[in-house]
Amino acid sequence: MSTLDEGPLVARLRTGTEALLSPTTETDRERRRIAALALPFVALAVFGAVVPLVVMFRISVAEEYLTATAGVQFDAWVTLLASILAFVPGVGSAVDADPVYGEVIWNSLWFGAVTTVASVALGIVIAHALEKYDLPGEGLLVTLISFPISLPGIVAAFMMIVWFGKTGLLTNVFVWLGGEASLFPAVTSNEVKLTGRPSGTTIAVFGLFLGYLYSMVPRATFLLRGAYAEVNTDAEAAARALGATPWQTFRYVTLPQIRPGIVGAVILTFRTALAIFGTVLVLKALSVVTFRFDQILKVGYDLPTASALAGLFFFFTVGFTFLSLRFTSAEVTG
C-alpha cells in the first residue's frame, strides 16, 4: 500500500497529531493544552491501574501464570459462574458446583444495599439538620461527623470493638440487661485473632452492619450536603407562606429538588460498601467478595480464580456506575 492511498482515518489522525505537536491556530493550541493537562493523569491511570487490571484479567484466562503467562483456558471463569448458578435458588440444585462464590457475591450485594439504604437515610436526616436548622456549634458538628472519613476500615472495626467487644461500652449495658455478652463471639477477648471463618451469626452481622455505617454515614452525609446546598430556599419559603407544614414542605418541595443528589449518594455509597475490606477482615462476621478474594490468595494462592472474581467485581462496578449515571437523574460531579 502506498502512502497516497492511506485511508481517511489515517489522514485525520496524521493531521490531528501534527496539529497537536505544532499547532498553528488558537483552537489547536487549546487542544494541545488539554492534552498536556490530561496526560499526567492518563499516564498514571494507565500505568497504575489499566495495565495491572489487564494483566490480571489475562491471568484469569491463562493456563500458566506463576512465572510467565501463557495459554488460554476458562476454568476459573467456569468455576465462578457455575458457583453463581449453583447458588441461585431453584436452578442451583441442578448444578453440581460449590455455591461459595455465589454466596459471597450475594452477601456483598445484599449487605451493601442494606447498609447503603441505612447510611443514605441517616445522611439525609443529618444533612437536613445541618443545612436547615440553626444548630449550636454547627462547625464543630461538621468536623466531628467528617472525622471517621479519615479512618481506615480496620480502625472503624476497632471502634466497633470499643462499643461491643468483651468489655465494650455497650456490652456492659447488654450484660446488665441480661443479654448477649458480645456482638462478636469470634472476638473472644478484646483481641482479634486472624483465624477462623466468618461467624455469620445474626448478632455479629449486626455488629458488622454498624461497622459499615461507621464508615459510610459520614460519606453519605457530605454527598447529600452538596445536594442540600443547591436547594432553592425561596421555593421552600414560598411553600411555607402558602401554608405547607415543615413536613409537607420537605415532601413536596425539598425532596424533589434533592432527589438527583440522593440517587447520586446511593450510587457512590453502594460502591463504597462493595469496596470495604479492612472492617470485614477484623470483624469477620460475613464473607463478602473482598474478604473471599483475600482468603483465596491466602489459602492456596488460587490466582486465576481470584483474578476472575476481581474481574467480575470490576465489570460489575464499572457497569453499575456508568449505567446508573446514564439512566438516572443522579448528580455525581460538581
Partner 1 sequence: MPERVTLDGVTKRFGDTLAVDDVSVTVEPGETLGLVGPSGCGKTTTLRTVAGFETPSEGAVEFGGQEVTNAPPEARDVGLVFQSYALFDNMTVRENVEFGLKMRSLPKVERAERATDLLELLDIGELADRDPTTLSGGQQQRVGLARALAIEPRVLLLDEPMTGLDAKLKSRLQREIGSLLEDLDVTALYVTHDQAEAMVMCDRIAVMNDGTIEQVGTPDEVYERPANDFVADFVGTSNRLAATARDGRLDFGHATAPAPNGDDGEVTVVVRPEAFELGGGPFSATVRERFYLGEHVRAVAELPDGESLTLRFDPTEAPAAGEEVSLALDTDRVHVLPEP
Partner 2 sequence: MTDAPDRPADAETGTDLPAGPADSDAETDPRTDGGLPAMDGAVPTRDPGAFSQLATALGRPLVVGTVLVTVVFLILPVLATFAASFAHEWAGVLPTFVRDGEFLTLVNWRQALGLTQTDLGAQRGLGGFWTVFGVPIPVTIGFSMLLALGGVVINLLVGVPIAYAVTRYDFYGRGWLNTFAVLPVVPGIILGVAFLKTYSDLPSAVGLMIGYSLLKAPYMVLAVQSSFESMDLRQLEESARSLGASWPRTFLTVVVPNAKTGIVAGAIVCWTLAAAEFNFSYIVYSSGPKPFSLFLFENISNNPFLQAAAAISVYFAIVVVVTALLQAVGQRGFALGGVR
Kindly give the interhelix angle for 202-229 and 153-164, rounded to the nearest 10 degrees: 120
Q: CB of 214 within 8 A of CB of 318?
A: no
Cβ closest to partner 1, residue 31 vs residue 166:
31
Name the grid cell of 47.
500505568
272 binds partner 2 (CB under 8 A): yes
- Give the C-alpha separation, 205 to 279, whole Å: 12
Instruction: Write out the residues near partner 1 by the rule CB under 8 A.
Output: 24-29
Interface with partner 2, residue 179, by CB under 8 A: no
> Residue 25 touches which of partner 2, partner 1, none (CB < 5 to 8 A by kind)?
partner 1
Tell me the sheet residues that pair with 70: 64
Tell me which residues in 124-153 interact with partner 2 (CB under 8 A): 125-126, 128-130, 133, 135, 139, 141-153
Closest CB 26 distance from partner 2, rounded Å: 10
Applying CB under 8 A, among 101, 111, 209, 214 the residue interacting with partner 2 is 214
* DSSP 8-state assignment for residue 149: G
Q: Among partner 1, partner 2, none, what binds residue 150 when CB lies within 5 to 8 Å by partner kind?
A: partner 2
**Least separation in angstroms between CB 19 and partner 1:** 11
d(CA 196, CA 87): 23
SS3 209: helix
Q: Which does 24 bind (CB under 5 to 8 A by kind): partner 2, partner 1, none?
A: partner 1
Which parts of 64-83 interact with partner 2 (CB under 8 A)?
none
Return d(Cα 326, Cα 265) in angstroms, integer.
Answer: 15
Find the part of the chain contacting partner 2 (CB under 8 A) among 13-21, 76-84, 109-117, 273-281. 273-281
Residues 6+ apart with CB under 8 A from 202: none
Chain positions 148 to 177 lying near partner 2, rule: CB under 8 A, are 148-155, 157-163, 165, 167, 169, 172
27 contact choice in partner 1, partner 2, none (CB below 5 to 8 Å, kind-dependent): partner 1
Binding mask 219-258 for partner 2 (x = CB under 8 A): x--xx-xx----------------xxxxxx----------
Q: Any contact of residue 20 with partner 2 (CB under 8 A)? A: no
Specify whether the CB–CB gap between 280 and 286 falls below 8 A: yes
CA distances from 245 to 88, 114, 238, 250, 258 (A): 47, 31, 12, 9, 18
What is the DSSP code (8-state) at residue 251?
A: I
Return the sign of the alpha-carbon dihedral for residues 160, 166, 171, 174. Answer: positive
Number of residues near partner 2 (by CB under 8 A):
106
Q: Between residue 191 and residue 210, which ones bind partner 2 under the rule CB under 8 A?
A: 191-194, 210
Considering the complex, state which of residue 36 and residue 54 has its C-beta at the smaller distance from partner 1. 36
Given partner 1, partner 2, none, residue 245, with its beta carbon under 5 to 8 Å by kind, binds: partner 2
DSSP secondary structure string for all residues of 72-113: ---HHHHHHHHHHHHHSTTTGGGS-S-THHHHHHHHHHHHHH
Identify what 21 binds: partner 2, partner 1, none; CB under 5 to 8 Å per kind. Answer: none
Smallest distance, partner 2 to C-beta of residue 213, A: 8
